[in-house]
């Protein structure tokens, strides 16, 4: 799970037995953007830091707004006081939180 604190940008790439896993984030005052690449035939739990957010978009579509899921089957856990967790399968995912 990302813990950006005062870090403005970061990126990581890891080679696994399933393929390449890539993640990067941009941490601005009122917007957090996380981009994740999940290898084929796998899934990932992606954590979005909670503080000061009201909306989460996944690839441009709102999936969470003011504490409520707007699409079923996407949010895994929004009870954690530090992260909202999202499950996604293979592909490239852009998550915007503000």
Termini Cα distance of the chain? 17
- Count other Cβ atoms within 10 Å, centred on residue 45: 12
Range of the domain at 59: 9-97
Half-sphere exposure of 11 (CA within 13 A, CB side): 4
Q: Tell me the two tokens of residue 66.
A: 């003011």
Facing residues of 21 across strands? 14
- Model confidence at 20, pLDDT cuts 50, 70, 90, reads very high
Q: Which residues pair with 29 in a beta bridge?
A: none
CATH number at residue 25: 2.60.420.10
Whether the CB-CB separation of 63 and 31 falls below 8 Å is answered with: no
Q: How many structural domains comprise the chain?
A: 1
pLDDT in tens, 24-58: 999 988 899 999 999 999 999 999 888 788 999 99
């Amino acid at each position: 799970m990302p813990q950006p604190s005062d870090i403005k940008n970061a990126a990581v790439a890891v080679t696994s037995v399933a393929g390449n896993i890539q993640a990067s984030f941009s941490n601005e005052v009122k917007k957090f953007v996380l981009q994740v690449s999940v290898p084929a035939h796998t899934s990932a739990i992606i954590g979005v830091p909670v503080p000061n957010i009201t909306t989460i978009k996944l690839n441009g579509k709102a999936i969470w707004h003011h504490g409520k899921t707007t699409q079923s089957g996407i949010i895994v856990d929004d009870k954690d006081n530090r992260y909202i967790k999202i499950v996604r399968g293979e592909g490239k995912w852009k998550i915007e939180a503000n």
